């Protein structure tokens, strides 16, 4: 244990030796980075150019930082270096070339921290003059020579061009400053060879001046192809031709030699030293073109001849009569050659054949064929023959026409009385063109010719009565002697609405609360009709409905005083003319039961009042009458009237009183018996009625 402690202390003392300091992590920041091009951004070829990268770094320690510099050209890395120097970083371009042109940037990386400068564009102008070298100055036909073109000191992607007498013959692209081309010459004589090059710097290119010119002498090889044709003159179709292809040479070897004999693009024969071919002459507009071609290595020589051939007879033409034919109608096809060589051929020697698979026609005179047209299109061709020569006509396509069917007549869009009406005539089948004629009774209204598939035969007419429309008919014709007449027009005519009227049920004077109200709108015109009811002052309709009748009602099931007001209706049909009715003023009266109730109450009140007042006055008069009777009975006889008293004493025991009738001023004597009840009863029964007692 003690030994272990000793070793540990020794290690620690050696690690923390006097004079050594543990390095803390450096603190730094990249303050700025810039790039410059010296001596200038625009220089000429051969200038020593320096790309300078300047970086400003702030650091907390004295120890140098490891810096990684990267130089970019046009976005690609061209140089990378790591250094601990704080000096400017230099990228040298000694003797700059055009290929050094481009945009340069500098990037620095210090312990993971990076910074990149702005780009600077370097332009280098001027290219070196190209230098041309040839390995031979004299060659023979077809012999190959080597040409080398150099661009001294240039670098990059370069295109080299080689010229023969100012005509470009080859192009080479390389990544070096020289290119090699193998050249051959097919024509004898002197050839001036030079070259040039172009340095490609995307997106620009720079072309050099022309190189030195070198003359090459090309000598002929004593080998000549020979082409012979027999016969050579007055050749007609059908004549036999013999063609020979060979070579003529004096000293040169014919080893590795090939001969090709061709007519136009057709290879007739091939061989080594001699080729021949026999054929029947055919007429061509430009004549027969023959070629004898010799190939020996890279050497090619040709001999050509053009041989005119007179046509024995022309290619036949196939025609049809009549020019247009209908299905299953007779037709005639004629096959004929318009011209022939009379010195070699008679017309009767020409024979014609018609090819019509599936529809054979009868053959009459020479080249004339007859039959009936099919129900569908069919192709025909014919052939003319004479002296072994056969020529074909162009294909004739017969498209039988279809007779037009009976036309149908209809109204296009709508028929509205008082407005222009368009009538459409059309047939289900029939070949175009078709002539359509519109009839009204026994008079024609016009004719329209339909020539395109989507064209319509439309006629514009006007009528004053709906029944006039039934007088129109269509006639169609596309080649018949007489056209086909269709049926008469049957269509509905919309009569615009008129005479809109609003009426009400019940009668205006009978409209009362808690009853119903029907607003009836009626018009004259063609249904269906759309009705709308309005209350004056309200732009929104109360109701809108469409009816198949010319009248319609709108009902208020239960009405009140709030329904009083002015009402009107509007209506329209397919003619789209809106008509407005008269305005009707509706006044909702009080309900009948309310009137009866008010009358009964009033009558009851009056009755009660009458009874009350009657009883009141009756009781008052009875009291008055009783008082009068009492006063009369208490009156005594006077002394001066003895005679009268004597008389009264002799009469029965009856008392009299004078009663004045309300309607008379004269008093009446009314006997009163003794006793109040008796007096009252007699007064009651008196013909004078109640009165005032004196």
DSSP readout, 340-355? B-TTT--GGG-EEEEE
pLDDT at 514 exceeding the cut of 50: yes
Calpha distance 578→530 (Å, rounded): 10
Q: With contact defined as beta carbons under 8 Å apart, do 219 and 242 qualify?
A: no
pLDDT at 634 exceeding the cut of 60: no
Residue 464 Cα distances to 193, 412, 495, 566, angstroms: 97, 18, 10, 37
Sign for the CA dihedral angle at 622, 623, 628, 633 comes to positive
For residue 549 the two structure tokens come to: 């009748």
pLDDT at 694 (0 to 100):
39
pLDDT at 625 (0 to 100):
60
pLDDT at 227 (0 to 100):
93
Residue-wise pLDDT tens digits, 221-243: 888 899 999 998 888 888 899 99
Residue 319: which of 330, 335, 331 has the closest Cα?
A: 335
Can you name the residues that pair with 91 across neighbouring β-strands? 51
pLDDT band per the 50, 70, 90 thresholds, residue 252: low
Q: What is the mean pLDDT of the chain?
A: 83
pLDDT at 287 (0 to 100):
86
Contacts of 643 (CB under 8 A, 6+ apart): none
Span 484-509, mean pLDDT?
A: 90
Residue 71 region by backbone torsions, left for phi larger than 0, else alpha for psi between -120 and 50, else beta: beta
Calpha distance 565→535 (Å, rounded): 7
Strand 330-336 versus strand 368-372 pairing type: antiparallel
pLDDT at 249 exceeding the cut of 90: no
Residue-wise pLDDT tens digits, 118-152: 999 999 988 999 999 999 899 888 888 999 999 99
Residue-wise pLDDT tens digits, 281-295: 888 878 899 999 998
Residue-wise pLDDT tens digits, 49-65: 999 999 999 888 778 88
What are the contacts of 539-546 at 24+ separation with CB within 8 A?
541/570
Calpha distance 366→387 (Å, rounded): 17
Task: Assess whether the previous peptide bond of 203 is cis (omega < 30° from 0).
Answer: yes
Span 152-176, mean pLDDT?
A: 92
pLDDT at 623 (0 to 100):
66
pLDDT at 324 (0 to 100):
87
Can you name the residues that pair with 32 across neighbouring β-strands? 56
What does the angle CA 366 – CA 371 – CA 377 come to, to the nearest 5 degrees? 115
Residue-wise pLDDT tens digits, 442-480: 999 999 999 998 899 999 999 989 999 999 999 999 988
Residue 37: which of 124, 99, 125, 115 has the closest Cα?
A: 124
**Residue 531 exposure: Cα atoms within 13 Å on the Cβ side:** 27
Calpha distance 462→363 (Å, rounded): 58
Q: With contact defined as beta carbons under 8 Å apart, do 171 and 160 qualify?
A: yes
Residue-wise pLDDT tens digits, 541-572: 999 999 999 999 999 888 888 888 999 999 99
Residue-wise pLDDT tens digits, 583-632: 999 988 876 667 677 778 888 888 888 888 878 777 776 665 665 555 54
pLDDT at 503 exceeding the cut of 50: yes
Q: Provide the 3-class DSSP secondary structure of residue 492.
A: coil
Q: Provide the 3-class DSSP secondary structure of residue 670.
A: strand
pLDDT at 584 (0 to 100):
92
pLDDT band per the 50, 70, 90 thresholds, residue 411: very high
Calpha distance 304→293 (Å, rounded): 9
Calpha distance 529→497 (Å, rounded): 9
């Amino acid at each position: 244990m003690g030994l272990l402690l000793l070793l540990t202390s020794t290690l620690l003392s050696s690690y923390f030796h006097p004079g050594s300091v543990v390095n803390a992590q450096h603190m730094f920041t990249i303050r700025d980075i810039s790039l410059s091009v010296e001596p200038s951004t625009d220089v000429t070829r051969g200038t020593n150019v320096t790309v300078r990268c300047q970086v400003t770094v702030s650091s907390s320690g004295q120890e140098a930082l490891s810096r990684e510099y990267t130089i970019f050209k046009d976005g690609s890395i061209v140089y990378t270096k790591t250094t601990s120097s704080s000096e400017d970083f230099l990228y040298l371009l000694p003797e700059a070339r055009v290929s050094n042109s481009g945009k340069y940037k500098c990037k620095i990386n210090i312990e993971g921290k990076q910074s990149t400068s702005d780009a600077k564009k370097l332009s280098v102008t001027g290219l070196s003059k190209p230098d041309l070298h040839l390995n031979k100055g004299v060659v023979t036909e077809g012999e190959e020579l080597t040409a080398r073109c150099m661009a001294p000191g240039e670098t990059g992607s370069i295109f080299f061009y080689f010229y023969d007498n100012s005509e470009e013959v080859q192009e080479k692209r390389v990544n070096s400053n020289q290119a090699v081309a193998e050249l051959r010459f097919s024509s004898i004589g002197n050839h001036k060879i030079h070259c040039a090059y172009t340095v490609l710097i995307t997106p620009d290119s720079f072309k050099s001046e022309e190189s030195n010119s070198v003359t090459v002498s090309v000598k002929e090889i004593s080998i000549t192809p020979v082409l012979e044709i027999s016969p050579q003159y007055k050749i007609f179709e059908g004549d036999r031709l013999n063609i020979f292809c060979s070579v003529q040479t004096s000293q040169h070897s014919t080893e590795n030699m090939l001969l090709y004999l061709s007519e136009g693009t057709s290879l007739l024969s091939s061989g080594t030293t001699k080729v021949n071919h026999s054929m029947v002459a055919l007429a061509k507009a430009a004549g027969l073109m023959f070629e004898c071609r010799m190939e020996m290595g890279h050497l090619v020589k040709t001999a050509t001849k053009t041989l005119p051939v007179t046509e024995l007879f022309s290619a036949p033409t196939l025609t049809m009569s009549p020019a247009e034919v209908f299905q299953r109608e007779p037709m005639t096809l004629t096959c004929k050659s318009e011209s022939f060589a009379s010195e070699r051929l008679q017309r009767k020697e020409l024979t014609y054949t018609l090819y019509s698979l599936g529809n054979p026609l009868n053959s009459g005179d020479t080249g004339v064929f007859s039959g009936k047209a099919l129900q569908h299109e069919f192709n025909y061709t014919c052939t003319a023959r004479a002296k072994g020569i056969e020529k074909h006509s162009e294909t004739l396509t017969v498209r039988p026409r279809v007779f037009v069917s009976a036309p149908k007549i209809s109204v296009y869009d709508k028929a509205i009385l008082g407005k222009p009406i368009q009538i459409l005539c059309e047939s289900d089948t029939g070949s175009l063109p078709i002539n359509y004629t519109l009839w009204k009774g026994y008079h024609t209204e016009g004719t329209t010719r339909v020539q395109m598939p989507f064209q319509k035969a439309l006629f514009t007419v006007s009528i004053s009565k709906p029944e006039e429309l039934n007088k129109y008919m269509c006639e169609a014709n596309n080649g018949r002697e007489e056209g086909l007449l269709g049926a008469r027009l049957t269509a509905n005519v919309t009569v615009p609405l008129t005479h809109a009227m609003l009426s009400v049920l019940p009668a205006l004077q009978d409209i009362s609360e808690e009853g119903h109200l029907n607003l009836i709108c009626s018009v004259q015109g063609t249904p269906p009709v759309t009705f709308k009811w309005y209350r004056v002052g309200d732009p929104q309709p109360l109701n809108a409905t469409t009816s198949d009748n010319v009248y319609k009602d709108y009902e208020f099931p239960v009405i009140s005083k709030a329904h009083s007001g002015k009402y009107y209706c509007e209506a329209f049909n397919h003619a789209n003319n809106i008509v407005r009715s008269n305005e009707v003023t509706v006044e909702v009266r009080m309900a009948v039961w309310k009137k009866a109730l008010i009358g009964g109450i009033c009558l009851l009140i009056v009755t009660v009042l009458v009874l009350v007042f009657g009883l009141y006055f009756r009781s008052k008069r009875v009291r008055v009458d009783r008082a009068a009777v009492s006063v009369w009975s208490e009156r005594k006889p006077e002394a001066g009237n003895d005679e009268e008293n004597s008389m009264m004493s002799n009469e029965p025991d009856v008392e009299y009183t004078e009663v004045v009738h309300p309607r008379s001023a004269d008093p009446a004597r009314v006997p009163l018996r003794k006793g109040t009840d008796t007096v009252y009863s007699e007064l009651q029964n008196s013909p004078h009625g109640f009165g005032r007692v004196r």
